[in-house]
Structure 1
């Protein structure tokens, strides 16, 4: 059985985008990108809100010839992963292995995760808030950039309360701090061993 994992790259004060909608300040270094790729290899299906899908969909047709290894690998991972986009208004999608769901179905997601041999990721704080609110998320992973932006789109919805256990942490050379937490209700659940971190790219 897989796990439902929420991963966010955020500012130190907890925003995935600032008040102007910008997130260029969180662009990952090659070292951070390599770590993200390691985790992405264990994902079989990505659940995405519309805005997150539109940000990530550029990987479908991006020309990565001559790009660093971490960029080329992520493009391959994106294209090989099943994707479910939750949107009431999105029409045609521009990526393969992608379907659209009009409503959030907690029971359907639970069945998907239980039937999966790989992890299922959930991306976008608005969609993740729905899953967190009903206790579907097995692990919360944050890559915290060394910047304070003062406001914007938060990692967690206002009013959400979670009792979490720290299960992993890492410090990167560019000042990014990685923290992984597991909700207490899942703390004793059987999970697969973690994947070792990659070596720092030379």
Structure 2
């Protein structure tokens, strides 16, 4: 049985986007993309909220003709090979291969997906991950801290959740990025 892990690239003050909804300050270089790709390779299933899926679906069409770097091509191939589940009440259909649509995040259904997956399951998107964190579904957090303070925007981690964390791994990456892998543990 795999583990459910939330992965997020966030500012040092905890935001995925700045107050204007931008994240150009968080674009990773090739070393960080290669590191993320290796981490994501162990997750053969990805759970997405609607907005995150809409951001990620462009990877479906990244190929040699796109002129992207070899590192981006490797990430795209890894992304296309994964099973994807999108949780959305507003989408009527999904447009990428190996992708299914679920209407709501049902904890029992998520546990079923994680139990059936041959490897880990990655959850992305702060709204969806917040629901999973609130219901105690998340086993691990993979946080990529960007050396920037943006002063507000879309929070990477939800308010109102209290969970103990154990630091399992840390690594300094290119451009001042810091990778932190935490395992959740029950808080008394």
Is TM-score (shorter-chain normalized) higher than 0.5? Answer: yes
Distance in 1, matches of 2:17 and 2:63, equals 25
Cα offset for 1:157? 1.1
- 1:84-95 alignment to 2 at 5 Å? 84-95=85-96
**Conserved 8 A contact 2:17-2:154:** yes
Distance in 1, matches of 2:91 and 2:138, equals 25
Once the two structures are superposed, what CA deviation does each residue of 1:67-88 show, in whole Å capped at 9, x if it has no partner? Answer: 3221001111111111111100
Asked if 1:181 corresponds to 2:163, the answer is no
Distance in 2, matches of 1:42 and 1:119, equals 6
Distance in 2, matches of 1:155 and 1:131, equals 13
**Conserved 8 A contact 1:64-1:71:** no
**Conserved 8 A contact 1:7-1:142:** yes
**Conserved 8 A contact 2:86-2:100:** yes
Distance in 2, matches of 1:104 and 1:167, equals 27
Asked if 1:158 corresponds to 2:165, the answer is no
Tell me which protein shows more helix as a share of its residues. 2
Say which SS state the counterpart of residue 112 (structure 2) adopts.
helix
Say which SS state the counterpart of residue 72 (structure 2) adopts.
helix
Which runs of no fewer than 5 residues in structure 1 stay unpaired? Answer: 186-202
Cα offset for 1:92? 2.1
- 1:44-193 alignment to 2 at 5 Å? 44-65=44-65, 66-185=67-186
RMSD: 1.3
**Conserved 8 A contact 2:62-2:68:** no
Asked if 1:22 corresponds to 2:25, the answer is no
Which runs of no fewer than 5 residues in structure 2 stay unpaired? Answer: none
Moved over 2 A (4+): 62-67
**Conserved 8 A contact 2:11-2:150:** yes
Of 61-70 and 166-175, more deviation after overlay is shown by 61-70
